[in-house]
Amino acid sequence: MKQHTEINDEQLKGILSVTIEPGKSLNDFCKRNFNNFDPERFEAVALRVFHGKETIATLYALDKSKQNLNADDGKLRVKKFKSLELSLAEILPYIKEFNFTVTTGNYPVENMEVINK
């Protein structure tokens, strides 16, 4: 068990899950917001969104025509697409719901037990 060493309330880390709106898709979002993204050629693998002074969306996509899934090193080679022109207002219409938990990292979340039931 990790011991409490210092409180970090300025940077929280965690995991986020997103459900896309019905009738929309990740491919729709990518075609609209990333130059040269073609779903016939690329498969979206991961999407990173940074929001601060500016909003930066980064898409990592598999190039279906160049991928060698039997590569000796086991690496998944992806193409990176970047968009600096997005706002959260352009991203949110694609999201039906999201769920996330963030933590200071000082205690393991999986060991928490709620006692005020």
* CA 99 to mean position of chain CA atoms: 12
Paired sense of beta strands 95-103 and 42-51, if any: unpaired
Dump strand ranges (E) for 2-86: 13-20, 42-51, 55-63, 78-83
Q: What whole-number distance in Å separates Cα of residue 110 and Cα of residue 100?
A: 14
User: pTM for this one?
Assistant: 0.78
Q: Which of 78, 98, 76, 100 is nearest to 30 (CA)?
A: 78
Domain residue ranges of the chain, discontinuous segments joined by +: 15-109
Residue 107 has pLDDT above 80, yes or no: yes
Residue 106 has pLDDT above 90, yes or no: no
Predicted confidence (pLDDT) per residue in 8-47, tens digit: 678 888 889 999 999 999 999 999 999 999 999 999 999 9
